[in-house]
Amino acid sequence: MLEKVLVAEDHQNSSKAVTKIIEELAIPLCHYVYYCDDAFTRLKNELNSGRPYDLLVTDISFIEDHRTQQLKSGVELIIAAREIQPQLKVIIFSGEDRTAKIQSYFKDLKVDGYVQKGRTDAIELEKAVEAVAKGQVYMPPGIREKINPSHSHQFTNYDVTVLSLLAEGKKLQEIPDLLVKLNISPSGKSSMEKRLNHIKTVLDFNKNEQLIAFCKDMGII
């Protein structure tokens, strides 16, 4: 059972509402903070004093203000927190709606839940907390299907690098040199072309412009 929860959320309105939901779920202790650094300090202190938090509920984007922060986003906070307390449960509470981003939170950050801010966030957050309390992973409705539809392509690191270079205005023929310098393989022009062609075939695209637009929409680059 979850007994001690920390909420990191800079959105004045949301944080109180989140806390209220947590309290209604009969969780004894719930604190909230506005800054990532404060969150990390708390996690560390409570861990050291032998009474660690069970769950972290955090936003992703924290608007910058006068206070300079070490940790500038929820992603950095999660990574830092998991370093000192690997078994900490994490639920992300964010407005992000780009599938690729959400997917990467589960895949790369191994978070336990994701709730998208919106009309039904209160209900969903409740479900997410309950699921996580049972040791389950909570995904928003529809995401599981979107993550692997038939016409889809798993973008690798290599793909992202090449596409980013393209989006920066690099010519196809100068990219091989850049890849060599970055120590990325395969670096040959043909291999790169082949890869790009493969992606475009799978997604049924015919031009690089279209692919770039798609990646921007999905948040891949």
* 194 binds DNA, rule: CB under 7 A: yes
* 191 binds DNA, rule: CB under 7 A: yes
Q: What is the CA radius of gyration of the chain?
A: 20
Torsion, CA 75, CA 81, CA 86, CA 91, rounded to 10: -50
* 190 binds DNA, rule: CB under 7 A: yes
Sheet arrangement for strand 4-8: 29-33, 4-8, 55-58, 89-94, 113-116
* 10 binds its own copies, rule: CB under 8 A: yes
Structure tokens at 70: 């070490």
Residues whose CB falls within 8 Å of the CB of residue 40, separated by 6 or more in sequence, listed in order: 70, 71, 77, 80, 81
Q: Which stretch binds DNA (CB under 7 A): 23-31, 32-40, 48-56, 191-199?
A: 191-199
190 binds, among its own copies, DNA, none (CB under 5 to 8 A by kind): DNA
Contacting residue, 13, 157, 183, 190, with its own copies by CB under 8 A? 13
* 14 binds its own copies, rule: CB under 8 A: yes
Q: Where are the alpha helices (DSSP H) in 85-181?
A: 99-108, 121-133, 143-147, 157-167, 175-181
> For residue 69, how far is the Cα from the chain centroid?
19
The pattern of x and - marking residues 48 through 67 that bind its own copies according to CB under 8 A reads: --------------xx-x--
Site size for DNA (CB under 7 A): 17
CB of 66 to its own copies, least distance (A): 10
* 181 binds DNA, rule: CB under 7 A: no
CB of 195 to its own copies, least distance (A): 16
Contacting residue, 171, 181, 183, 204, with DNA by CB under 7 A? 171
189 binds, among DNA, its own copies, none (CB under 5 to 8 A by kind): DNA
Q: What is the CB neighbour count within 10 angstroms for residue 58? A: 26
* 23 binds its own copies, rule: CB under 8 A: no
Check the CA dihedral 118-119-123-124 and report its sign.
Answer: negative
* 190 binds its own copies, rule: CB under 8 A: no
Collapsed DSSP state (helix, strand, coil) of residue 113? strand
- H-run or E-run covering 116: strand 113-116
Q: List interacting residues with DNA (CB under 7 A).
A: 171-173, 185-191, 193-194, 196-197, 206-208
Residues at the site binding its own copies, with contacts judged by CB under 8 A = 10-14, 16-18, 34, 62-63, 65, 95, 117-122, 166-171, 205-210, 212-213, 216-217, 221
